[in-house]
Structures are given as C-alpha cells and as structure tokens.
Chains A and B, each alone.
Chain A
C-alpha cells in the first residue's frame, strides 16, 4: 500500500499539468530543463519534466554533442541512490503496467532470454542510431517507445485534429508496439520493464552498487523459496539479492518467514 501511494504521488508530481489533456498544450516552464527519474514522455501534455531517455537522445543526435554528460550524470546519481527502485516507486509507466496486470487474464512467465532485448534497444536505438544519423531525432522515441504513444500521441491526436491527417505507417507501427506491450503487461508483470525499457536497463546496472539495496542474512535464510515464488520480476532474491532485474518492490522482504531479507 505504501509503495502504491508513493507511485501515485510520484506520477502526479511528474505529471501535474492535468488540464493540458483538455487543451492539448504542453507545459513550457523551467522544470522542463530537468529530467524526471522515470520514463515519462516530455510530449505528454501533463508532463512537468523531460524524459531522461528523450533528453539523452536529443543531445546525442544534436550537431554539437555526441554524449550527454548531464543526463548520464543524472542517471548514475539516481541509480547510485536507489538503483532500479526508480522503476518500483517513481516511474509513471511502471504504475500503468501494474494497473494493467490487475486485469483478470491468464498470467504467464517470461521466456528469460527476452530480458536482454532492452540492452539491445539501449545500445542501438538510444545510443547508436541518434549518434550515427545525427538528424536530431530520438530513435527510440520515434520507432519504439510505447510510453510516448500512450501518454503523448493519443492525447495529442484527440486534441489536435490537424495531426490526424499526418497519421502514417510510423504511427501504425507504434500503435502495434503499444498494443503488444499492453497485452504483454496484462499477462506478465511489468512486461515492458523486463523486456523493452532501456531506462530500466541502465538503472539495473546500478543495482549492484546502489545505496537502497537488498541484504540477505545467510545465517537466517532457510532456503524455503518463498521469496522466489512471490517475486513478480521472476528472480530469486535469496541467491541474487541485487539482480539487475530487481525493482525493490519489497514483496520478498514481507514474505520472508525468518526476516532474512532486508531492504
């Protein structure tokens, strides 16, 4: 309950310009200089901050720079503090996925090798394509990101009639990716986080050294397997407490009968 409350508050802080959904305008204030820690399209009418992935691609794709020190430093700093706890507590798209997962549909486990796809997307679409093409276009946002389609494209097409005539194959591709992602989220917990999110990929790498982390007391652990069974990110916290997939949700800590797991 506490985590859900933090998620809702974080989502509202990230997206407080709610009246813009009616007008189709964007917030243009100085907060847009700064990145939100989670994935949140800056073309979402309600967005207060910049998307860190979008900002990174913007800088990489620019004529002046090849790498964003500002965004890289920001991501390292946030990752150092809470690692993928950003995903578990602060990301609006993470909250959306958890809501979709509550729909009463059959649930399946993920084919494990798929978790490495997000690293491919990070390297190719976030880092390499903007740097190679140098067209100023954020390749991940343009071709993949379902958060942008859901949070920005749909509201903007509703309020801006003039955009509808420009709908083409790219929009159709993004809608297919969005629908597939949402279906994935309905049948597998946080499907997008596990498989497609380059931001989760980055934060996952910081899990090994983040301050907010899991501790397993091996003297208390009785290897009952309850933490592994309850983990919806499909990891075994007792064996790999700071897995790059762990979003620090705390379910394992609550279920442990011997209080061997602490966050």
Chain B
C-alpha cells in the first residue's frame, strides 16, 4: 500500500508541476482576483 501511495503522490506532484509549467496558474489567478459574476448569480 505504501508503494502505491508513493506512486500516487509522485503522480500528483508531477501533475501539479506540469500544470504550473504549461501556464494554468495565470488563468486561475485572473479569474480569482475579479468578481465572478457567474458565481454571484449575475452572469
């Protein structure tokens, strides 16, 4: 089980690094710092 957990952890960290490298964070940031009109029901 521990080997599986290590594999899952490495996969998860790899996903995060890949996501950051390909530029996902700026998209998330730009959405998060503006009032989301959809989220407040006015979109």
List chain A positions with a Cβ less than 8 A from chain B: 26-28, 30, 32-33, 35, 41-43, 47, 49-51, 54-55, 58-59, 62, 64-65, 68-74, 76-77, 80, 137-138, 141-142, 145, 148-149, 152-153, 156-157, 160, 163, 166-168, 170-171, 173-175, 209, 211
The 3 closest A-B pairs by CB, nearest first: A70-B19, A73-B15, A69-B19
Residue pair A170, B42 in contact (C-beta under 8 Å): yes
Number of B positions contacting A (CB below 8 A)? 34
Which of B9, B20, B27, B34 has the most A CB atoms < 10 Å from its CB?
A: B27
Interface hits, B8-43 → A, CB 8 Å: 8-9, 11-20, 22-25, 27-29, 31-36, 38-43
Residue pair A152, B36 in contact (C-beta under 8 Å): yes
Residue pair A33, B28 in contact (C-beta under 8 Å): yes
Which of B15, B29, B39 has the most A CB atoms < 10 Å from its CB?
A: B39
Residue pair B39, A54 in contact (C-beta under 8 Å): yes
Q: List 11 A-B contacts (CB under 8 A).
A: A43-B39, A47-B32, A59-B28, A69-B16, A71-B24, A149-B40, A156-B40, A163-B40, A168-B42, A170-B41, A209-B4
Chain A residue numbers with a CB within 8 Å of B22 are 65, 69
What is the CA–CA distance of A27 and B32 in the complex, to the nearest angstrom? 9
Given contacts A35-B28, A76-B8, 13 further A-B contacts (CB under 8 A): A54-B31, A55-B31, A65-B22, A70-B20, A70-B28, A73-B18, A142-B41, A148-B39, A152-B39, A153-B41, A163-B42, A170-B41, A173-B41
Contact (A32, B8) CB under 8 Å given A26-B34, A42-B36, A73-B13:
no
Interface of B is mostly: helix
List chain B positions with a Cβ less than 8 A from chain A: 1, 4-5, 8-9, 11-20, 22-25, 27-29, 31-36, 38-43
Contact (A80, B38) CB under 8 Å given A59-B28, A70-B19:
no
Name the CB-closest residue of B to A72: B15
Select which of A62, A70, A74, A141 is within 8 A of B36 by beta carbon. A141
Contact (A54, B36) CB under 8 Å given A137-B43, A171-B42:
yes
Select which of B5, B18, B29 is within 8 A of A211 by beta carbon. B5
